[in-house]
């Protein structure tokens, strides 16, 4: 049985721990509730994009061989060469140790950056929502929310939640779609894992310390409950 003196000390510590970690406990509860209310597919905007709609590869438009494409980028040791459609035209995507190159299989032009008209066609082909494409914005460095690296195109569509489809400007690959719901989720996730910068690391010392303090607060609360129900009743014989 916990002595009255020890119980008072536990109660005092429990009170101050509650003040210290109470706000974060509230954040964990509130953000956790948000995560359970909204389906992850809705947050990702899966309903707004087609899985793939690059069009069919028109072999009649392929005028260059793989060797010609490799010669165009002066690469003789590729890791991978893929012939695929991109924005309505056939291209060779060449992956090598020094980088990724895209060469038109029709003209032999090296597409160092996917031009706006092609990026526009790519985004519109993948868009499954009802709003029309309103603007194409180019970024030398992809915004953090895109999940991409390097240059990118942001295709802004009309519609609820300000949807944006990101297109990798180096190879024309389609990145994620982002909406206000996803942006809210991302912000709340940063609060939940207490990683306010990268919003990815949930093994850092701050959240570990908060979790230890929260667990200590709960255990002290349990100890006080046990003490309350096991202490002698006044006047009992």
Give the pLDDT score at 170. Answer: 87
Given a cut of 50, the residues of the chain with pLDDT beneath it are 236-237
Give the pLDDT score at 232. Answer: 62
Give the pLDDT score at 237. Answer: 47
Distance in Å from the first CA to the final CA of the chain: 18
- CA 163/CA 160 separation, integer angstroms: 7
Give the pLDDT score at 228. Answer: 72
Give the pLDDT score at 2. Answer: 63
Among candidate residues 166, 181, 162, 75, the one with its CA nearest the CA of residue 119? 166
User: What pairs with residue 193 in β-bridges?
Assistant: none
Give the pLDDT score at 20. Answer: 76
Q: Torsion over CA of 116, 118, 122 and 124, rounded to 10 degrees?
A: 70
**Helix/strand/coil for 223:** helix
Give the pLDDT score at 164. Answer: 97
């Amino acid at each position: 049985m916990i002595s009255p003196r020890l119980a008072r000390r536990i109660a005092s510590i429990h009170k101050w721990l509650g003040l210290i970690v109470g706000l974060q406990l509230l954040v964990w509860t509130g953000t956790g509730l948000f995560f359970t209310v909204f389906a992850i597919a809705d947050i990702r905007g899966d309903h707004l994009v087609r899985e793939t709609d690059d069009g069919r590869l028109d072999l009649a438009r392929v005028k260059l061989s793989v060797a010609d494409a490799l010669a165009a980028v002066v690469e003789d040791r590729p890791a991978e060469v893929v012939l695929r459609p991109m924005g309505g035209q056939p291209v060779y995507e060449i992956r090598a140790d020094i980088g990724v190159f895209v060469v038109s299989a029709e003209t032999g032009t090296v597409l160092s950056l996917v031009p706006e008209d092609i990026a526009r066609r790519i985004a519109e082909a993948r868009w499954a929502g009802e709003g029309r494409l309103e603007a194409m914005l180019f970024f030398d460095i992809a915004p953090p929310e895109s999940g991409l690296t390097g240059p990118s195109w942001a295709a802004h569509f009309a519609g609820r939640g300000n949807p944006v489809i990101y297109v990798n400007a180096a190879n024309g690959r389609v990145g994620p779609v982002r909406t206000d719901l996803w942006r809210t989720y991302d912000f709340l996730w940063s609060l939940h894992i207490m990683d306010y910068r990268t919003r990815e690391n949930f093994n850092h010392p701050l959240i570990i310390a908060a979790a230890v303090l929260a667990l200590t607060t709960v255990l002290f609360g349990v100890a006080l409950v046990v003490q309350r129900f096991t202490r002698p009743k006044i006047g009992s014989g």
